Amino acid sequence: MPRRGDLLYSREGTYFGIAAEVPEKVRVCLGQRMVLIRPLASKLDFRFLRHWLNSPVMAAHIHGHRDGSVAERLNLPTIRALPIAVPPLPEQRAIAHILGTMDDKIELNRRANETLEAMARALFKAWFVDFEPVRAKLEGRWQRGQSLPGLPAHLYALFSDRLVESELGEIPEGWEYTRASQLIEFNPSEPLRKGTEAPYIEMAALPTSGSWPEPPVSRPFGSGMRFRNGDTLLARITPCLENGKTAFVQCLPDDAVGWGSTEYIVMRSKASVPPEFGYLLARDAAFREQAIRSMTGTSGRQRVQADSVAAFKIAAPSNEAVWDAFSRVVAPAFKSIKANAEAIATLAQLRDTLLPKLISGELRVPDAEAFLKERGL
């Protein structure tokens, strides 16, 4: 039975070559793709071992020793023969503490981004699906001069206190149901000459939850969808669409054109519609349900066409001031998500750089501790 101090090591599949600590006071069982590693406590600190197994040094090693022509896989003899750096135990613990401090900061930033995303999605649903500002006024829950969560007092005059009937049910007075294509440009044209080096975001880089993709890499343009910062990438093919692969692009250099899979639908907000609205629409449950229902093609290769999602109906305000107000409410959240994601990348790179230097003695533990303290870590 796995216990505290053990490591779970993935030898195959999506998380190939990744080690994780067994959670405290949690009963777990091993899947077929997992291996249990129990370090000898008198010689090896389990936290240090986890960092070592997850280091770029070990990643390079195991990718040179994997077994399997299609799926990446490590067999047990290979795992048993993995090289392990073994500094003195007190030094192992000090190194694990230093790297763990950065892991903790990474986790805090990751959780902050989850919270920011949830807040932005809740605001989208409140304004454009549930019409909460109007209902709050209608029911007397929002009074002039009063602020509610996501509804500052100065926005009071922007919203009606009446709901009117429409083809798809009640909507705020002055709003109308419209096709998504009236608000969003789908697959906009972007110039990018063949062979031009440009940021590339592959399908594997798109998150299934959250808006931030893995960092783009520079590749010569061949064929694929092109996009800019502020665009939304929606995976249109099975199972990526069902799995939720979607990203809000804000990771490119300024004014750069990026490119990626032909299986993306690129969504770009029009005119006064905030860029963040396009992403939040792509995460909306009803929008995704229509996209999934509209998939066509042979089994295992089904995909949705841009025209199908462009036909999605959503209530939209005619007053541009509402769009501006929504932007001012949600844009700061996405700016913070970007800052946190960039901090995560910097911390991860620093952590991975420090480990081999600490193990080799090139960098002394006290010097590393002083370095981190200077940076508030």
Determine the pLDDT at residue 133.
96
Q: Which of 347, 349, 341 is nearest to 377 (CA)?
A: 347
Determine the pLDDT at residue 69.
46
Determine the pLDDT at residue 70.
43
Give the DSSP letter string of 220-233: E--SSEEE-TT-EE
Q: Is 303 helix (H, G, I), strand (E, B) or coil?
A: strand
63 contacts 43 by C-beta, under 8 angstroms: no
Element (H, E) at 179: strand 175-179
List the chain pLDDT tens, one digit each, 377 residues.
778 889 999 887 767 888 998 888 778 777 778 889 899 999 999 999 999 998 888 888 887 655 554 456 788 888 888 888 888 999 999 999 999 989 999 999 999 999 999 999 999 999 999 999 999 999 999 999 999 988 899 999 999 999 999 888 999 999 999 999 999 999 999 999 999 999 999 999 999 999 999 999 999 999 999 999 999 999 999 999 999 999 999 999 999 999 999 999 999 999 899 999 999 999 999 999 999 999 999 877 899 999 999 999 999 999 999 999 999 999 999 999 999 999 999 999 988 888 888 887 788 888 888 877 777 76
Determine the pLDDT at residue 1.
76
Please report which residue ranges of the chain form alpha helices under DSSP H.
46-53, 56-63, 76-80, 89-128, 132-138, 240-243, 275-283, 285-293, 306-310, 320-360, 365-374
Determine the pLDDT at residue 64.
67
In the chain, where the domains are located? 1-86, 182-317
Q: Does the bond joining 239 to the residue before it have cis omega, within 30 degrees of 0?
A: yes
For residue 159, how many other CB atoms are within 10 A of its CB? 26
Determine the pLDDT at residue 244.
97
Number of alpha carbons in the 13 Å side-chain half-sphere of residue 80: 3
Determine the pLDDT at residue 168.
83
Query: What secondary structure letter does DSSP report for 8?
Result: E
Determine the pLDDT at residue 11.
84
Gap between the Cα atoms of 66 and 12, Å rounded: 9
Q: Which of 227, 228, 244 is nearest to 236 (CA)?
A: 244
Q: Is 266 helix (H, G, I), strand (E, B) or coil?
A: strand
Q: Which of 182, 318, 300, 199 is nearest to 247 (CA)?
A: 199
DSSP bridge partners of 314: 178
Distance from chain centroid for Cα 329: 21
Domain 182-317 has CATH 3.40.718.10: no
Determine the pLDDT at residue 65.
59
Distance from chain centroid for Cα 336: 13
CA dihedral 357, 358, 363, 367 (to 10 degrees): 140
